[in-house]
Amino acid sequence: MKLQDLGPANLQAANTLALTCMAEHYYRLEQAENAAEAMAAILQQHPHTQPQLLAGGSNVVLPQRLELVIQPAMAGIRYLGEQKGCHHYRVLAATEWDALVRHTVDRGHGGLENLALIPGHCGAAPVQNIGAYGVELGEYIHAIEGVELPTCTPFRHTREEAGFAYRDSRYKQEAGRWLITALELALPTRWQPRIDYPGLQQALAGQEPSPGRILQAVIAERRRKLPDPAETPNAGSFFKNPVVDEYHMRLLLAKHPNLPHWPSEAGHKLSAAWLIEQAGWKGKALGPAGVSSQHALVLVNHGGATADDILRLAEAIRQAVQDRFGVPLEIEPRCLA
Ligand SMILES: Cc1cc2nc3c(=O)[nH]c(=O)nc-3n(C[C@H](O)[C@H](O)[C@H](O)COP(=O)(O)OP(=O)(O)OC[C@H]3O[C@@H](n4cnc5c(N)ncnc54)[C@H](O)[C@@H]3O)c2cc1C
- Residues 91-100: pLDDT tens digits? 999 999 999 9
Q: What is the CATH number of the domain that holds 45?
A: 3.30.43.10
Q: What angle do CA 57, 58, 63 make, to 5 degrees?
A: 55
Helices (H), 152-306: 170-173, 198-203, 211-225, 246-255, 272-278
Q: How many domains does the chain have?
A: 3
* Residue 178 and residue 100 share a domain: yes
pLDDT reading at 281 higher than 80: yes
* Residue 8: predicted pLDDT: 97
Last residue of a domain, one of 188, 206, 221: 188
Q: What is the CATH number of the domain that holds 182?
A: 3.30.465.10
Q: Contact, 50 vs 72, CB < 8 A? A: no
The answer to whether position 225 is within a domain reads no
Interacting residues of 265 by C-beta distance below 8 A, sequence separation 6+: 166
The answer to whether position 205 is within a domain reads no
The answer to whether position 316 is within a domain reads yes
3-state secondary structure of 282: coil
- Residues 12-56: pLDDT tens digits? 999 999 999 999 999 999 998 999 999 999 999 999 999 999 999
* Residue 151: predicted pLDDT: 96
* Residue 160 and residue 96 share a domain: yes
Separation of alpha carbons 35 and 14, rounded Å: 21
Number of residues in the chain:
337
Bond prior to 8 in cis (omega within 30° of 0)? yes
* Residue 181 and residue 101 share a domain: yes
* Residue 107: predicted pLDDT: 98
Distance 251 CA to ligand 1 centre (A): 34
Burial class for 71, CB neighbours closer than 10 Å (0-12, 13-18, 19+): buried
Q: Contact, 327 vs 315, CB < 8 A? A: no
* Residue 126 and residue 108 share a domain: yes
In 3D space, the residue among 320, 271, 259 whose CA is nearest the CA of residue 296 turns out to be 271
Last residue of a domain, one of 151, 168, 188: 188
Q: What is the CATH number of the domain that holds 315?
A: 3.90.78.10
The best mutation among 19, 39, 59, 219 to test binding of ligand 1, ranked by most ligand atoms within 8 Å of the C-beta, falls on: 59
Nearest ligand 1 atom to the CA of 137 is 11
Last residue of a domain, one of 22, 56, 72: 72
* Residue 83 and residue 56 share a domain: no
* Residue 45 and residue 86 share a domain: no
The answer to whether position 215 is within a domain reads no
The backbone torsions φ and ψ at residue 44, rounded to the nearest 5 degrees and listed phi first, read: -70, -35
* Residue 96 and residue 63 share a domain: no
* Residue 68 and residue 96 share a domain: no
Confidence of residue 1 (pLDDT cuts 50, 70, 90): low
**Which are the catalytic amino acids?**
167, 237, 332
Separation of alpha carbons 302 and 204, rounded Å: 36
* Residue 86 and residue 54 share a domain: no
Ligand 1-lining residues (CB < 6 angstroms) = 16, 53-60, 72, 93, 118-121, 123-125, 127-128, 130-132, 171, 175, 178-180, 226, 229, 234-236, 334
* Residue 184 and residue 100 share a domain: yes
Look over the chain and give the mean of its residue pLDDT values, rounded to a whole number: 96
How many CB atoms sit inside 10 A of residue 9's CB?
Answer: 19
The answer to whether position 106 is within a domain reads yes
* Residue 182 and residue 85 share a domain: yes
Confidence of residue 138 (pLDDT cuts 50, 70, 90): very high
Q: Contact, 314 vs 290, CB < 8 A? A: no
Sign, CA dihedral 153-156-159-160, equals negative
Distance 181 CA to ligand 1 centre (A): 15
The answer to whether position 154 is within a domain reads yes
The answer to whether position 14 is within a domain reads yes
How much is the pTM? Answer: 0.97
* Residue 289: predicted pLDDT: 98
Distance 124 CA to ligand 1 centre (A): 5
The answer to whether position 2 is within a domain reads no
* Residue 179 and residue 120 share a domain: yes
Q: Residue 35: give the domain boundaries.
A: 9-72
Distance 72 CA to ligand 1 centre (A): 13
Separation of alpha carbons 323 and 205, rounded Å: 41
Burial letters 175-198, b for 16+ CB under 10 A, else e = eeebbbbbbbbbbeeebebbbebe
